[in-house]
Amino acid sequence: MHIDIISVLPELLDSPLQHSIMKRAQDKGLLTVKVHPLRQWAVNEYGQIDDYQYGGGAGMVMMCEPLAKAIEELSSQTEYGAFDEIIFLTPDGKKMEQSMVNGLSLKKRLLLICGHYKGIDERIREHFVTLEISIGDYVLSGGELPAAVLVDAIGRLLPGVLNDETSALFDSFQDDLLAPPVYTRPVDFRGWKVPDVLMSGDHRKIDEWRHEQSLTRTMQRRPGLGEK
């Protein structure tokens, strides 16, 4: 999979994409991510990419021209094929969920647009963007961290990225259930013991116990999960 990201603050994306599983995905050639600084498509030599909003009001708006040029230029680079989705990260987008991430992980090429200031000119959303995603009902100062969250969630699902290929299948949310509790050595830490069943060696019983724990956790913590 190839992901292009258009950003005003590309530095914000450096670290999240260069470590751990995201690094492994890229080192293995399973994922390529390219961050494109928006200012290279600025409207003048001062690097302008935003302007006051029509109708008045506080806050700048990201202009059409730099974004349109960026999207068109990247679309014309066909090395990785056409964009399957052009995604704008925004608090008023569709709430990100595991099922959405699963679907996106099957695509070949994505373009992510990170917003800033008051947002981007509505005409870009109308004429270019195919999907708008929010990572939750709170407002961040820009779309870079949400983009990093999305790339991480997608990247770890790509076949071959995780060592134990099955482990993503058992993540919380994959079957609308939260994951069960997990334990490691020692068996007894300050008198706090690992549940006996996990030491029993009886895999049928262990699976049953984990499933029960998942159900209980989901009912207690997220009773609405899966109702959609």
Task: Establish if 131 lies at the interface with ligand ADE (CB under 6 A).
Answer: no
Q: Which stretch binds ligand ADE (CB under 6 A): 29-37, 77-85, 130-138, 154-162?
A: 130-138
Task: Establish if 119 lies at the interface with ligand ADE (CB under 6 A).
Answer: no
Residue 163 C-beta: closest distance to ligand ADE, Å: 30
How far does Cα 11 stand from its chain's mean position?
17
| Contact flags string 180-209 toward ligand ADE, x per CB under 6 A | ------------------------------
Nearest to 11 by CA among 37, 30, 32, 33: 37
Enter the tokens of residue 158.
């790509």
Q: Which stretch binds ligand ADE (CB under 6 A): 48-56, 59-67, 70-78, 135-143?
A: 135-143
Residue 38 C-beta: closest distance to ligand ADE, Å: 15
Alpha helices in 11-63 (DSSP H): 11-17, 20-27
Q: Which is nearer to ligand ADE, 146 or 180 (CB)?
A: 146
Nearest to 113 by CA among 55, 53, 49, 52: 49
Nearest to 110 by CA among 41, 33, 168, 37: 33
Residue 143 has phi, psi (to 5 degrees) of -90, 0
CA gap 72, 25 in Å, rounded: 27
Q: Which stretch binds ligand ADE (CB under 6 A): 103-111, 129-137, 173-181, 216-224?
A: 129-137
Where does the chain show beta strands of DSSP type E?
2-7, 32-37, 50-52, 60-62, 85-95, 109-114, 131-134, 188-189, 192-193
| Contact flags string 1-40 toward ligand ADE, x per CB under 6 A | ----------------------------------------
Residue 116 C-beta: closest distance to ligand ADE, Å: 9
**Which position has the token pair 């929010």?**
134
Task: Establish if 136 lies at the interface with ligand ADE (CB under 6 A).
Answer: yes
Find the binding residues for ligand ADE in span 99-118 (CB under 6 A): 115
Binding site for ligand ADE (CB under 6 A): 89-91, 115, 134-136, 138-140, 143, 146
